[in-house]
């Protein structure tokens, strides 16, 4: 009975240790691939800057539905937007994978769950550093486009750039592509659907989801490859 009673706490402690190891691998890659990190950030900024002047035009062109098609697209987009958030998708997915690993006594699956969790979490946190300080109004906020700064960033409707949904869903997808290709492909398709939904609902401009997606892909890949490193203690 004692073995069964303490089995789950031991798994939790082991998972925390796995998480620390993965973070060490991630940080090692960040420190040794500084030019890559700067290059990714530079690419994100350039693509965002190039897309920003055309956001309104692109937003209108992407909404080509009409009549019942528009109603159906809105319902699908609302579903994806609701179930594509960090608390409704990324975190439950990581927990479900971890529980499966605990039930099947698979350390590999528990490790995949930690990679999934860290990829989404780090991407989301990094994204929030800008989303909660730049203060760009959402397309449906009925405000002139621009960056209003941190004074407006915590008001409703001023957290458009970059997209938090895009960062977290692609943080999960990119990390899983490295550690479990089939699951990674499924989550990548879902990530693309979530990004489309956020634009369809007028919650983000195209530049928002482009930059958010690049952030998510970067952190996801770094966590995924960092989990494969075997660093000395």
DSSP codes, 138-149: PGGG-S-SS---
Whole-number pLDDT of residue 143:
86
Q: Give the Cα separation of 60 and 41 in Å (integer).
A: 28
Q: Give the Cα separation of 77 and 38 in Å (integer).
A: 33
> Which residue reads 């995949």 in tokens?
112
Residues sharing a CB contact under 8 Å with residue 102, sequence separation 6 or more, in sequence order: 8, 11, 110
Domains and CATH numbers, the chain: 2-226 (1.20.144)
Whole-number pLDDT of residue 4:
47
E strand map for 119-211: none
Neighbours of 151 (CB within 10 A): 10
Whole-number pLDDT of residue 8:
62
pTM for the full predicted model:
0.91
- Integer distance in angstroms from the first to the last C-alpha of the chain? 34
Whole-number pLDDT of residue 3:
45
Q: Give the Cα separation of 115 and 122 in Å (integer).
A: 11
Task: Tell me the two tokens of residue 94.
Answer: 């990581």
10-residue block means of pLDDT along the chain (233 residues)?
Answer: 54 84 93 90 92 91 80 90 93 95 91 96 94 89 86 81 95 96 96 95 93 96 92 69
């Amino acid at each position: 009975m004692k073995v069964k009673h303490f089995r789950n706490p031991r798994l939790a402690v082991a998972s925390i240790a796995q998480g620390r190891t993965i973070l060490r691998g991630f940080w090692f890659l960040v420190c040794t691939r500084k030019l890559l990190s700067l290059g990714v950030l530079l690419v994100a900024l350039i693509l965002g800057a190039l897309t920003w002047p055309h956001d309104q035009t692109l937003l209108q062109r992407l909404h080509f539905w009409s009549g019942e098609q528009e109603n159906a697209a809105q319902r699908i987009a609302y579903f994806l937007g609701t179930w594509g958030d960090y608390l409704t998708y990324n975190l439950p997915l990581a927990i479900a994978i971890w529980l499966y690993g605990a039930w099947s006594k698979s350390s590999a699956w528990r490790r995949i769950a930690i990679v999934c969790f860290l990829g989404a979490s780090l991407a989301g946190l990094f994204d929030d550093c800008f989303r909660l300080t730049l203060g760009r109004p959402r397309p449906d906020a009925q405000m002139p486009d621009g960056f209003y700064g941190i004074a407006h960033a915590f008001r409703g409707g001023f957290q458009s750039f970059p997209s938090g949904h895009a960062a977290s869903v692609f943080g999960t997808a990119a990390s899983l592509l490295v550690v479990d290709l089939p699951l990674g492909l499924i989550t990548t398709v879902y990530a693309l659907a979530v990004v489309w939904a956020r634009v369809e609902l007028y919650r983000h401009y195209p530049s928002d989801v482009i930059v958010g997606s690049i952030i998510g892909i970067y952190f996801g890949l770094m966590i995924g490859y960092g989990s494969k490193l075997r660093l000395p203690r």
